Amino acid sequence: MWDERYRDPEFAYGKEANQFLQEQLDKLPPGKILFPCEGEGRNAVFAAQKGWEVAAFDGSREGFNKASALAAEKLVAIQYQIGDASNIEYPVGSFDAIALIYAHFPIETRQSLHQKFVTWLKPGGVILLEAFHPSQLQNSSGGPKLSSMLLTPEILEDDFDTLETVLVDTATIVLDEGKYHQGKADVVRYVGIKQLIGGSRLV
C-alpha cells in the first residue's frame, strides 16, 4: 500500500515538514535524531537542514527513493534504512531525539515499540510525537481507520511512563500536508524527556 502511494511523483504529504515538529526542533540544540516510519522524508530533510545528524527508516522502498531525491534536492544528507519498526535495531542510547510524526502501530505491538524507542534515546533525549486522536475518525483528513491504532494522552503517558512528560495535549488543527493530509484534524501531541543520571534532565 505504501509503495503504491509513494510511487506517484507528487509527494503524498508534501515536501514541507510537519508544523509541530518544526516548532519543537526550534527549541532544541541540534544533535542526533531518528525518524521512524519516515516515508518520503519531508521531516528528516527539514531536520538535516537545521543542522541535525539524521537517521530514518521506513518499510517502503518507494518512500526511500523519494526521501533520497528530496535530500539531494535540498543538499543535505540523511541516513535512511529500509526496514520495519518491529525488526530494525539501533544501539542503546544512540539519539538525542526521536520524532514520531503520524507513526501509528497496531495495538498488539505499539507499546513494545514505543518502549524500544525509549531505549534508543540518550539520557536527556526527547520523544516528539504528533498523531491522530480517536476523534479523527469523524474527519476526512487522513489517518488509520481503526480506532485501536489511534492515540490518546492516556495511552501515551502509559507507553512512555519512564519519561518525564513535558507536553501531552489534544488539539483540533487544519492540516495542509500534501493531498492526503488536508482539512480539519484531531490530533494528540506529546513531548517526553529521558531522565539523566541523578534525576536531572536537559532543558
Is residue 166 within 8 Å of residue 191, measured between CB atoms?
A: yes
What gap in Å lies between CA 31 and CA 101, rounded to an integer?
18
Q: Is 32 within the bounds of a domain?
A: yes
Q: Is the CB of residue 80 less than 8 Å from the CB of residue 44?
A: yes
Alpha carbon distance 39, 43 (integer Å): 9
Residue 41 neighbours by CB distance under 10 Å: 29
Question: Nearest 5°: CA angle at 7, between 128 and 76?
Answer: 50
Residue 120 forms part of a structural domain: yes
CATH number, position 118? 3.40.50.150
| Predicted TM-score (pTM) of this structure | 0.94
Examine residue 203 and state whether it is found in any structural domain, yes or no: no
- Identify the pLDDT of residue 10: 92
The pLDDT of residue 145 is above 50? yes
In a domain, 136, yes or no: yes
Place of cell 519531508: 42
Q: Give the pLDDT confidence score for residue 200 in this predicted structure.
A: 47
Q: Is the residue at 199 inside a domain?
A: no
Q: Is residue 200 part of a domain?
A: no
- Can you give the pLDDT at residue 179? 92
Predicted confidence (pLDDT) at residue 199 exceeds the cutoff of 60: no
Residue-averaged pLDDT of the chain:
95
Query: CA 148 to CA 51: how far, in whole Å?
Result: 36
Residue 123 located in a structural domain: yes
CA distance 47 to 53: 8
- pLDDT tens, 29-74? 999 999 999 999 999 999 999 999 999 999 999 999 999 999 999 9
C-alpha cell at 128: 516528539
Range of the domain at 107: 2-194
Domain count, the chain: 1
